[in-house]
Chains A and B, each alone.
Chain A
């Protein structure tokens, strides 16, 4: 029934990493997210699926307070990371974003060399004491981004000169270089061809061993391939959240069933 067999899903034992309760998001007068409550597990890939404009990207951006950079956006409710409210006054959003990394829809390498792109986060956060340590961090991140072999001979070439798939993997390497605990991915493969998509998906599965990964995707096959848990959003509501295998084979809500069988969306 699916392109690839579903991965093993014994994730119920993993502890809760991020918990959201009654989250509301407003863009000006527009109520974009309504009463969303969800618990995301550590060392698990969680997919957010749903039709365009259903609020899945908006909700994702709440998890590291990226919405703070949009003036008209207002977030209500409780979102906590490891039990701490991330919207608390005492939390510095800049520090939070170092812990909750993000990869965007369009690959956005900085106009710097490949090395400087990856070293950007570690330098800002002072993760390396000297050049040798920084070199090590960069190499480790590029290896984890599955791009080391392709770029090791041209670390000082501009990152913008890479191909689309390489750029996206560079951005993933850049995000993991700051040692985040959670990695948010907003449609990371939407601009990539099938081969690059396969490479990134493989990478996501490897990242699961260390991080909690949340991925927004339009492709239901992709959600089925890479995730263990799936959340279905519709018109700003979280309709259904559960094990990926259960959502795709035996959805509880009729709207979920309509969406995954292609009748709405």
Chain B
């Protein structure tokens, strides 16, 4: 039975259960039931859906893995031809099996024919061609046999899947309806169910993060096995050559990342903070109503647009001042300064909107206290409000720093592609993120150190931003306790 049908049947059973559970309590009479009738309905529906759908999901995830493993184990040594791999043969097996399914589905052959067919007496390739599955070569007997086993196992699996899911759903229905009498605390049971749903959502988010980290860790490990970590962290040269013998030192990239981020923060923090102070302390309600959304529009601009802005506007403007016709410090429009300035502009709304919230959270009583002592507005801000808001502002700045470090598009357009260690902010440099893109988008062999280095770079970046975020949270939490 197709999965969709199975799913709909479970839903229908749940709906029936809802009505039945409700009715059983409302028509029972006698003592007033513990919960409202709908809770009894939801309790039954929950008992139908939760185990059945959970089993369905787990089955859908596990069955392909098990079947694949079984069929692979049954293939034997000589099934893999010279110059091929087990993976390629298995994908052939799956294509043939799918092709047979399609052929049966179109009525070209019967299901029994498909199972009994042998490579010797029928032309499988042309049959599958008619069914719309093109194969590169004739089907070998081993592959056909494996495909038939694959089909058989899947058919058995599908049958048992349907059976198990339906049995669970019906058992849940019976259990739920049996529970639906006045003394049962359906309300509490539904509460537990809701807690489980929320818990599941939270777990999925956390598990995904762990999955991302694990995928990075695996490939990073792989990289360090073919390229020594001492050279990766110890070398000051970045010169990948896809022919081999490349030197992959992280320092030029890390320096570029930090240099650009520092310039971005030097631009964004004062401007963002002052904008926040103006908006929260000085601006009247009408000014605020206009200025705040306008500032937040900046936050909605895609970073690639900022990148274009860097390339087409900021770079040329800087070049006219600092370039060959001006001060002569700058060779081309792409430079650390270009990327840093534009990234700073991008971060202004980020800093200002976070700081604005934090400044607004400073209790009015502190402002009153300061004004009541005869302080002016700026004295109050400098000596009372900013110190009180400082932990939050530091947190905002550190979050902005993690964004700056992870930014890619502005760097690709604004900073150039040369990995170099230089102190001149008008030199072209590049960052970790930009190099990750260029290492993985080439047509390099995926198993070469030149491609795998991207994962080591990503991992390093992840650890740096993670450290910054943890530090930001620590600062915010530590000082928050002190003032409340």
Contacts and interface: CB of A to CB of B under 8 A. Distances in A.
Interface of A: 64, 66, 69, 71, 94-99, 101-104, 106, 108-112, 120-121, 124-125, 158, 160, 171, 174-175, 178
Interface string B366-404: 111111111110010001100110000000000000000
Contact of B368 (A94, A101, A108): A108
B243 interface: no
B369 A97 contact: no
A104 B372 contact: yes
A216 to B, nearest CB: 14
The 9 closest A-B pairs by CB, nearest first: A98-B374, A102-B372, A108-B365, A97-B374, A108-B369, A121-B373, A111-B388, A111-B483, A110-B384
A43 to B, nearest CB: 21
B398 to A, nearest CB: 20
A94 B376 contact: yes
B384 A94 contact: no
A66 B482 contact: no
A71 to B, nearest CB: 7
A175 B284 CA distance: 29
Contact of A178 (B365, B369, B373): B373
Given A111-B483, A158-B482, A98 B373 contact: yes
B285 interface: yes
A178 B371 CA distance: 13
Given A104-B365, A160-B483, 11 more contacts: A66-B372, A95-B374, A97-B371, A102-B372, A110-B384, A111-B483, A121-B373, A121-B374, A124-B375, A160-B482, A174-B369
A125 B370 CA distance: 12
A59 B363 CA distance: 22
Contacts of B372: 64, 66, 97, 101-104, 175
Contacts of B363: 108
Nearest to B372: A102
A174 B372 CA distance: 10
B285 to A, nearest CB: 7
A110 B370 contact: yes
Contacts of A160: 482-483
16 contacts: A64-B372, A69-B367, A94-B374, A94-B375, A97-B372, A102-B373, A108-B363, A110-B366, A111-B366, A111-B384, A111-B387, A111-B483, A112-B387, A120-B383, A171-B369, A175-B373
Contacts of A125: 374
A15 B482 CA distance: 46
Contacts of B387: 110-112
Most chain B CB within a 10 A radius of its CB, from A110, A125, A160, A178: A110
A125 B393 CA distance: 28
Contacts of A95: 374
Contacts of A174: 369, 373
B371 A66 contact: yes
A255 B383 CA distance: 46
Nearest to A123: B383
Contacts of A101: 372-373
A175 B368 CA distance: 12
Contacts of B367: 69
Contacts of A106: 365
A81 to B, nearest CB: 14
Contacts of B371: 66, 69, 97
A220 to B, nearest CB: 26
A160 B383 CA distance: 16
Nearest to A106: B365
Contacts of A178: 373-374
Nearest to B362: A111
Interface in B127-186: none
Contact of A124 (B285, B373, B482, B483): B373
A104 B369 contact: yes
A103 B373 CA distance: 9
A44 B136 CA distance: 105
A74 to B, nearest CB: 16
Contacts of B388: 110-111
A189 to B, nearest CB: 16
Contacts of B373: 97-98, 101-102, 120-121, 124, 174-175, 178
A125 B388 CA distance: 22
Contacts of A94: 374-376
